[in-house]
Amino acid sequence: MSAADAGIPRPPADAVSTTAPPRRRMPQLSTQVLIGLVLGVAAGIFFGEWMANLKIIGDIFVGLLQMTVLPYIVVSLVYSLGRLSYDEIGLLARKAGGFILIFWGLAILIIMAMVLAFPDWPSATFFSTSLIEERAPLNLVQLYIPSNPFSSLANGVVPAIVLVSLAGGLALSGVPNKQHLLSNLDMASDAIMRIAQFVVQLAPVGVFALVGATAGTISLEELGRLQVYILTYIGAALLLSFFILPGIVSIMTPIPFKRVLTGTQDALITAFATYNLLIVLPLLSERIKEMLEEVEIKDSDSQSAADLIVPINFNLPNLGKLLGLSFIPFAGWFAGSPISTEDYPQFLTIGLFTFFGEVVVALPFLLDLMRIPADTFQVFLAIDQFSGRFGTLLAGMHTVVLGLLTAVAVSGRLKVDWIKLGRHAAVSAILIVALFGGLRLFFEYVVPQEYRLYHALTEMDLVSKRVDTKIVPLEVVKPLAETDERSRIDVIRNRGRLNVGYVSASLPFAYRRETEDFIGLEIDLLHMLANDMGVALNMIEIDRGDIGDHLKSGRIDLVIGGLFATPERALEFQLSEPYMTASLSLVVRDHRRREFGEWNQVRDMTDLKLAMVDLPFYVRRAEAAFPYADISVVSSPRDFFDAPEGKYDALIYSAEAGSAWTLLYPAYSVVIPKPGVISVPVIFGLPPNEIALGRYINAWMNIIKSSRRIDRLYKYWILGQGAAEKKRRWSVVHNVLGWDS
């Protein structure tokens, strides 16, 4: 079967060479892309955060790339199978199917081995709403069975799209007089490729925008972490391309190891330089036939096998493409949400089927499936412009090796020397362990990363305009006289200052940094309130158990500290309208997260040792919920984190506050057991029987919530957007030239 029959475009027949005046030649597209990548990195370093404005251009480029992917999957799979006879499909399945499965298994083993190279660097994140979002159960029928193909296309369900396309192609194979439809499909495929080729011409600009925005905004700590994926990916691709795969051919066929490398070097270099496997498919087919001819295996059957396997393999998940699956466990590690061992079978199975389509569609789908932040996909797009070229090189070698093995098998000259094959497998295993183990040691001991994320808590600043604030010891604050009949609002206005009691260690609601000033979500709210009331602030530290007494005595006008609403507190003092709801969670050591994933699992634990802050209402509920647990009351979360290992198994705390504490103690993680999320109102404490003050605060709170200022503060302090906004990345224009935006 010729290259034209395989649907591979060739230059028009009437294209002739003409003499034209010499003109300046534009660099090849691959060179332009490399230039765009280098310029993007340089611009990001020079201009820093100003380059974030180019992200919209990168997003447009990504959208245009994805535009043609799903139509191409449908048309190319239907056409590639439909043009074959059932005999050809059967031959292909019998001879090549086993090798394809073996290579897929090899890819899975390599991906799992790559995880071993990820160093044990401390990592933590701010609270994420993905912790409390109910995860819909995985519907395998809906994922794989396209009962409504149009719905699958509209929603980008790649496995279902692949299945319906394969079914269409197989059905078309048996249809008589199908040439007219095949011709139309060929033209449709050509039209789609023309669109894709036009978009590819924009790659230098798109790559410049993507890389520039990433290089300008990514922190130095994150930049150091990217080398883990880049070096691991390149090492795996090179080991497979230049040792494991050629070795299999030399053992099972008459073709020597060295000839596999030298016979394909021009095609592989071209694929690497252009980052495009499609354009070298005809060259790969010819190189396969040349090597077969040298060992006297070139006959009609082997030639047909080579002609079939090369274009068909382009539509299958080859090793170069499948290696991109390794980005998912890396993204989980990078974001501080590593994939658990129990999730790997689901991830690898679904990942294999999604990679029948394009990586730019499959990866966002898998990131969402594994509950990994979708923003990490932008990281992939930036670094894939470099590392992906090694994947293209591996895809080319995989195509050659699969073609050679299939052709030799068809000719009947395939031989398996189990001793040599076992020796090659053993040496390969040793090299894999040495490669990824060596990288692990390199990352941990040569380029260790200093953990600095805890600085994010102290480097954030208030959004609100600050009012005059004093720190006042409790003992100097006088209680109100029992004969004072003024309302508390009149007392506050006459005093000119609002006496605020705060509970220490109330991350991220109210806390002090080294400069002795107060920051946090509730501190921001306090300054808003003080500005609206026209008063200043007195900050007074109090004990959690004395809140009611101090509010009643008149020493304190309002109490903050991430207070939960409880029935007992409602009897002691007045509760404001809740300004947010917190989610109850368990804070545990990183390596024990899976043990606490379900409430039933936690309830059945024997010898369970839980810690929780002294709130009688929730202590009683915890005692009822965990009958076998030993529950200890602690005065502060710090008592739990600083306790010797083994004293406590988990801390019952809010997920929002617990996530902030894990920034200080990155060896811990927040877990919200399933099913269901237990929400608790967060309030201010107000003096009992002060109805006017309560009405004022509640009315003010409702106004703040309706204006969505609470939502902005929630994103700023709880989700950590304030840390991202205030940390300016080093750049030449800001740090060397002193320019300010």
Q: Dump the DSSP string for 305-341.
A: HHHHHHHHHHTS--HHHHGGGGHHHHHHHHTT-PPPG
Parallel, antiparallel or unpaired: strands 668-671 and 580-589: antiparallel
Parallel, antiparallel or unpaired: strands 580-589 and 679-686: antiparallel
Cβ atoms of residues 523 and 659 within 8 Å: no
CATH class of the domain comprising 29-446 = mainly alpha
How does DSSP classify residue 446? I
Most confident option among 312-316, 339-343, 466-470: 466-470
C-alpha span between 77 and 95 (Å, rounded): 20
Cβ atoms of residues 407 and 291 within 8 Å: no
For domain 458-578+683-729, say whether CATH 3.50.50.60 is its number.
no
Phi, psi (deg, nearest 5) at residue 660: -65, -40
Q: Exposed, middle or buried: residue 378 (CB in 10 Å: 0-12, 13-18, 19+)?
A: middle
Please give the CATH topology (third level) of the domain spanning 583-679.
D-Maltodextrin-Binding Protein; domain 2 (3.40.190)
Largest CA distance in the chain: 112
Asked if residue 242 has pLDDT above 70, the reply is yes
C-alpha span between 6 and 182 (Å, rounded): 11
Q: Which amino acid is at 544?
A: R
Query: pTM of this prediction?
Result: 0.66
Asked if 29-446 and 583-679 have one fold, the answer is no
Q: What is the dihedral of CA 593, 594, 596, 599, to 10 degrees?
A: 140
Parallel, antiparallel or unpaired: strands 668-671 and 650-654: unpaired
**H or E segment to which residue 224 belongs:** helix 220-239
Q: Domain limits of the chain? A: 29-446, 458-578+683-729, 583-679
Cβ atoms of residues 95 and 305 within 8 Å: yes
pLDDT band of 552, cuts 50, 70, 90: very high
**H or E segment to which residue 470 belongs:** strand 469-471
Render the burial of 596-615: b for 16+ CB within 10 Å, e for the rest.
beebeebeebeebebbbbeb
pLDDT in tens, 620-675: 888 888 888 999 999 889 999 999 988 999 999 999 999 999 888 888 888 888 87
Cβ atoms of residues 593 and 340 within 8 Å: yes
C-alpha distance across the termini of the chain, in Å: 62
Provide mean pLDDT across the span 377-383.
73
pLDDT at 5: 42
Rg (CA), the chain: 32
pLDDT band of 137, cuts 50, 70, 90: low
Average pLDDT along the chain = 83
How does DSSP classify residue 134? P
Token pair of 257 as six digits: 């190891």
pLDDT at 647: 93
Cβ atoms of residues 540 and 473 within 8 Å: yes
pLDDT band of 13, cuts 50, 70, 90: very low
CA-wise closest residue to 585 among 564, 606, 616, 569: 564
pLDDT at 650: 94
**Residue with more model confidence, 95 or 664:** 664
Asked if residue 209 has pLDDT above 80, the reply is yes
Q: Exposed, middle or buried: residue 536 (CB in 10 Å: 0-12, 13-18, 19+)?
A: middle
Q: Which residues contact 484 (CB under 8 A, 6 or more apart)?
A: 491, 554
